[in-house]
Amino acid sequence: MNNAPATILDTIGNTPLLALRKVVPANGARILLKLESRNPTGSVKDRMALAMIEAPEADGRLKPGGAVVEYTGGSTGVSLALICAVKKHPLHLVTSDAFSREKLDHMRLLGAKLTIVPSENGKQTEKLTKNMIAEAHRIAQNLGAYITAQMENTDQLAAYAKLADEIWEQTGGRIDGFVQSVGTAAALRGISEKLRQHDGRIRFVAVEPAESAVLSGGPSGAHKIDGIGAGYVVPLWHDGIADDIERVSTEEARATAFRLAAEEALFCGTSTGANVAAALRLAERLGRNATIVTIMCDTGMKYLKTFSQALEP
């Protein structure tokens, strides 16, 4: 087959855009969900991880067979593990027991070496994030390795610009609002910058954990929404990225994820739950003639053990 992908990396991107049918308010806007769970590791992070490796390979910062280091809440680490396995880069990841066991196991199975930084009661906090970052930089220096440093890496913005182009094409240019939760801020920044070039009237909404709502001026705190809410204002964030900031609690994010599974047959993680919870609020405000797009960040299979515990009586 002439059009067969050469490697698994050629299957990253070009994901479907699906209209939600059951959870949307009766008189609210149409909500379209970009199914990033269809990427090879089941996560939108496959896109940015590929960009963070291919850019330094192209300009010589990362040599053939050179070692890579990153700090990660899980999905970026899994994505980097996939890409480094294909490209033969040894990978050392710094992560924590605060994140799902499924993600940690997935990283190891793809060949990554892990350093686990202990958390406080399994919750993500500013202290944990900064401890992980410091440990990753220490390891990279000791190994003489290339650190992708996702919190400040601008190579990934190109991947999200491409994602924005997919959204624009799939909606036929009809989009009134875009909603995305903030981890490194790269996704919302890259997507919003590109979509604004297409249409300056689109309204962009950032989502952060209610328990640690630092972007909207609240105090840093602990939460359990994997992959977002670092606990401080991250380097890639700036105030012009979003028109509004929505606070979503861990409980609401999980409840919305469970609703998506039961009512839409879409099994997703809590960051997607947070995205859709905020999108539902925006849908009420914009009304039935509007179209909102948000991201299904990953598959709920990455959280199966955690979710099973929440379902126990």
271 is catalytic: yes
Euclidean distance between CA atoms 125 and 122, whole angstroms: 10
Contact 167, 36 (CB under 8 A): no
Q: What angle do CA 232, 235, 237 make, to 5 degrees?
A: 85
| Residue 45 appears among annotated catalytic residues | yes
Q: What is the DSSP letter of 141?
A: H
Active-site residue (options: 45, 87, 103, 224): 45
Tell me which amino acid residue 43 is: S
Sole residue written with tokens 């593990």: 81
Dihedral angle computed from the Cα positions of residues 168, 169, 170 and 171, in that order, rounded to the nearest 10 degrees: 50
Tokens 């809410």 — which residue? Answer: 229
**Which candidate, 242, 245, 250, places its Cα nearest to that of 221?**
250
Rounded Cα distance between 11 and 88, Å, is 18
**Catalytic option among 37, 100, 119, 271:** 271
Between strands 17-19 and 30-35, the pairing is: antiparallel
CA distances from 66 to 43, 89, 115 (A): 25, 5, 19
If one counts every other C-beta atom within 10 angstroms of the C-beta of residue 23, the result is: 18
The neighbour count for residue 256, using CB atoms within 10 Å, is: 23
Torsion sign (Cα): 291, 294, 300, 305: negative
Give the residue numbers annotated as catalytic, written as ranges.
45, 271
